[in-house]
């Protein structure tokens, strides 16, 4: 420990210094009051031993200065004096010394006094520590108060007085702390529980200690704005005076509350939008959907009257397609645009919200005037920027609606517009489907008429053609010799052309017969079909010296014997016909199993089909070669295709890699009992 010794007498100075050193002190000794004052301020010691009688600043003055110094309250001052007057003691203590020793000082007495002084020093150091700690705590609390947004408060409930409140209250409540503390009622509107008030606190005090009251409620700030607070209050009896005391924290939760509120609202809106789209999707008819939609809108928007109106642009009017809260007349409700506020929404394409529509000039339609509307809101239904109708909400009592309400109305209108657009599109589709069906029927009818016309024409052409050929023959036979060679050639040409025309007519007749004659489908043996077809083309085969390879045991298929023979004959005839002159035709006929079909191949080594022409050749009159040495009508393959189609089959061609083509026909397989072997087995046993 450090000690300051102030003594002008050198002997005493040494004496006291040594006594203190012997007690373990680190001593700084001074001769004058001035010197000591400077030393004291430079480094405040816990113990000062001072001679009262000093030149200049004497001991009394030094004591007073020390005590007046900011850090001078703590050191223990031990005065040393030679005076022995009755007043001296009072004077010494009044100056600020803690104790005094009379000179000359007997060492034993000095020790006792020192012990007392040292105890004091220890007390003071301890007290200093405690004070400092307290001050620090107070500072910390102050900081906490200052920096926290939460408002801490203490209320003397018994006295109805606000005891203290943290500075953050100014920001939250908008009042100066001083005002809150001074006004006996002001704090109440912010801190008392909104329901129950003081009674809630007094009730709480009766319950178990440590109970907390937690409440969230709105407050109105000094500037009139509303804030939401979360308050947590505990109520206890003050141990000193027994007063009821409420301590608590109030937190500004306006933003959280707003966020939660917005979220809840948004959720309700989304649910509404979802329900509207759901009824749109699940309703059995458009009418049912519209009815469900207006109900839902009425519920969500809390509107007693809701109308869904479709715009009839050609007549500048709105047709109410569904309504809630009003009975639609039997003949429907149609309102000219200029007689309803909804017309404005149609014209501007923007929502119209009129909080008092009574003076409106467009409120002239009887049905609408009868509503006596006090709130009118119309939301345009727009699809791709074009207004197609309106969603109208009407209230018959004055009502204040906010921005959100309007927004929700607009969102609902958007969903409804999308739905109505879909309904329109579906209607249009149904219309066009019906139109297509009618057209197809007309076309079929026309086709049939045309085909039967072609049939009768071809049929009727045959007779004169035969007559013509007959006379040409007769001319050659009976008068051939009389004719010039040129004339004979003409006659032959007449016969050849007649034959070609006959072929053409025969083919056309076959083709049209295949088209509209009834065809009976039944099991047909392909072996028989191929044999009969070969018979038909025998002349061509013989003439061309073709080599034929015909697979045996061809399967049974479903079809018409006549049609199949005609088809296969055409393929065989082509196979031997479209072969280069120097090449011997080779034709192969075989069958292949293909799921539900049997495919019959007719492959040749002919001139082949140029790439890309595979489909074309199946059309009527399409021929790739026009040479005279391969006579034809261009109908053979068309007959093949039509014939196969009529018996539920198909036909086509594949180009062969080297040369030649592979024509095929697919005929339905016969569903034989053998395909259900368990039945046969069952019958046998």
Residues in the site for ligand ADP, rule: CB under 6 A? 570, 574-575, 578, 604, 606-609, 617, 622-625, 632-638, 661
Residue 273 or 609: which CB sits closer to ligand ADP? 609
CB 532 within 8 A of CB 565: yes
The tally of CA atoms less than 13 A away on the side-chain side of residue 37 is 18
Residue 419 or 578: which CB sits closer to ligand ADP? 578
Please report how close the Cβ of residue 506 comes to ligand ADP at its closest, in angstroms.
Answer: 11
> Could you identify the residue written with the tokens 């053409």?
504
From the centroid of its chain, how far is CA 617? 55
The pairing of beta strand 333-336 with beta strand 556-559: unpaired
281, containing H or E segment: helix 254-282
Residue 222 or 624: which CB sits closer to ligand ADP? 624
Burial class (CB in 10 A: 0-12, 13-18, 19+), 46: buried
Please report how close the Cβ of residue 683 comes to ligand ADP at its closest, in angstroms.
Answer: 47
Please report how close the Cβ of residue 604 comes to ligand ADP at its closest, in angstroms.
Answer: 5
Q: Is the dihedral of CA 164, 167, 168, 169 positive or negative?
A: positive
Q: What is the DSSP string of 57-85?
A: S-HHHHHHHHHHSTTTTSSEEEEEE----
Please report how close the Cβ of residue 642 comes to ligand ADP at its closest, in angstroms.
Answer: 11
Q: What is the DSSP string of 407-467?
A: HHHHHHHHHHHHHHHHHHHHHHHHHHHHHHHHHHHHHHHHHHHHHHHHHHHHHHHHHHHHH
CB 37 within 8 A of CB 72: no
Residue 404 or 619: which CB sits closer to ligand ADP? 619
Please report how close the Cβ of residue 568 comes to ligand ADP at its closest, in angstroms.
Answer: 12
Residue 67 or 503: which CB sits closer to ligand ADP? 503
**Direct distance between the N- and C-terminal alpha carbons of the chain, in angstroms, rounded to an integer:** 127
> Could you identify the residue written with the tokens 């196969």?
644
Burial class (CB in 10 A: 0-12, 13-18, 19+), 97: buried
Q: What are phi and psi of 246, to 5 degrees?
A: -110, 125
Residue 523 or 634: which CB sits closer to ligand ADP? 634
Residue 44 or 454: which CB sits closer to ligand ADP? 454
Residue 92 or 644: which CB sits closer to ligand ADP? 644
The whole-angstrom separation of Cα 565 and Cα 651 is 14
Residue 60 or 578: which CB sits closer to ligand ADP? 578
Please report how close the Cβ of residue 572 comes to ligand ADP at its closest, in angstroms.
Answer: 9
Q: What are phi and psi of 308, to 5 degrees?
A: -110, 120
Please report how close the Cβ of residue 500 comes to ligand ADP at its closest, in angstroms.
Answer: 11
Please report how close the Cβ of residue 288 comes to ligand ADP at its closest, in angstroms.
Answer: 57
Q: What is the token pair recorded at 376?
A: 């009118």
Please report how close the Cβ of residue 537 comes to ligand ADP at its closest, in angstroms.
Answer: 12
Largest pairwise CA distance in the chain = 197
């Amino acid at each position: 420990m450090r000690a300051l010794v102030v003594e002008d007498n050198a002997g005493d100075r040494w004496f006291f210094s040594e006594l203190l050193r012997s007690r373990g002190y680190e001593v700084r000794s001074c001769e004058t009051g001035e010197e000591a004052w400077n030393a004291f301020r430079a480094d405040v010691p816990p113990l000062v031993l001072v001679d009262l009688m000093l030149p200049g600043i004497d001991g009394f003055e030094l004591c007073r200065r020390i005590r007046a110094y900011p850090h001078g309250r703590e050191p223990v001052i031990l005065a040393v004096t030679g005076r022995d007057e009755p007043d001296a003691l009072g004077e010494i203590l009044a100056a600020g010394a803690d104790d005094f020793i009379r000179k000359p000082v007997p060492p034993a007495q000095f020790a006792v006094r020192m012990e007392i002084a040292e105890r004091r020093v220890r007390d003071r150091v301890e007290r200093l520590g405690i004070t400092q700690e307290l001050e620090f705590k107070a500072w910390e609390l102050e900081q906490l108060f200052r920096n926290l947004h939460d408002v801490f408060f203490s209320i003397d409930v018994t006295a109805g007085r606000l005891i203290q409140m943290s500075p953050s209250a100014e920001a939250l409540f908008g009042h100066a702390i001083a005002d809150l503390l001074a006004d006996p009622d002001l704090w109440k509107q912010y801190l008392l529980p909104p329901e129950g008030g003081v009674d809630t606190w007094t009730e709480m005090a009766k319950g178990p200690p440590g109970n907390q009251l937690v409440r969230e409620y709105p407050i109105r700030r000094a500037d009139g704005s509303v804030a939401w607070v979360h308050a947590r209050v505990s109520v206890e009896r003050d141990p000193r005076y027994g007063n009821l005391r409420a301590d608590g924290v109030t937190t500004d939760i306006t933003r959280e509350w707003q966020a939660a509120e917005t979220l809840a609202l948004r959720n309700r809106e989304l649910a509404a939008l979802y329900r509207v789209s759901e009824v749109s999707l699940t309703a059995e008819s458009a009418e049912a959907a519209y009815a469900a939609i207006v109900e839902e809108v009425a519920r969500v928007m809390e509107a007693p009257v809701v109308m869904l109106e479709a715009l009839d642009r050609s007549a500048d009017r709105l047709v109410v397609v569904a309504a809630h809260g009003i009975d639609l007349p039997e003949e429907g409700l149609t309102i000219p645009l200029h007689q309803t506020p909804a017309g404005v929404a149609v014209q501007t394409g923007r929502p119209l919200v009129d909080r008092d529509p009574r003076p409106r000039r467009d409120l002239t339609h009887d049905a609408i005037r009868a509503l006596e509307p006090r709130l009118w809101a119309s939301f345009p239904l727009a699809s791709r920027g074009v207004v197609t109708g309106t969603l109208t909400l009407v209230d018959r009592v004055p009502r204040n609606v906010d921005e959100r309400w309007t927004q929700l109305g607009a969102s609902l209108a958007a969903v409804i517009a999308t739905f109505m657009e879909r309904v329109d599109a579906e209607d249009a589709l149904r219309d066009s489907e019906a139109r297509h069906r009618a057209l197809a029927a007309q076309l079929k009818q026309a086709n049939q008429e045309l085909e039967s016309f072609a049939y009768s024409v071809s049929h009727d052409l045959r007779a004169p053609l035969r007559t013509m050929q007959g006379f040409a023959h007769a001319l050659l036979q009976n008068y051939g010799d009389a004719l010039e060679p040129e004339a004979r050639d003409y006659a032959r040409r007449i016969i050849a052309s007649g034959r070609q025309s006959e072929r053409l007519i025969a083919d056309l007749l076959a083709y049209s017969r295949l088209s509209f004659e009834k065809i009976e489908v039944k099991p047909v043996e392909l072996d028989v079909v191929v044999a009969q077809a070969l018979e038909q083309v025998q002349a061509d085969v013989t003439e061309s010296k073709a080599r034929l390879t015909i697979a045996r045991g061809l399967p049974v298929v479903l079809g018409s014997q006549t049609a199949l023979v005609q088809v296969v004959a055409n393929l065989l005839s082509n196979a031997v016909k479209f072969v280069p002159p120097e090449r011997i035709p080779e034709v192969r006929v075989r069958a292949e199993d293909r799921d539900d079909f049997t495919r019959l191949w007719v492959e040749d080594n002919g001139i082949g089909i140029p790439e890309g022409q595979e489909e074309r050749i199946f059309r009527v009159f399409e021929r790739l070669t026009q040479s005279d040495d391969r006579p034809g009508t261009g109908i053979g393959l068309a007959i093949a295709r039509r014939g196969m189609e009529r018996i539920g089959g198909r036909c086509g061609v594949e180009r062969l890699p080297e040369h030649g083509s592979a024509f095929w026909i697919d005929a339905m397989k016969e569903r034989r009992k053998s395909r259900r072997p368990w039945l046969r087995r069952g019958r046998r046993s």
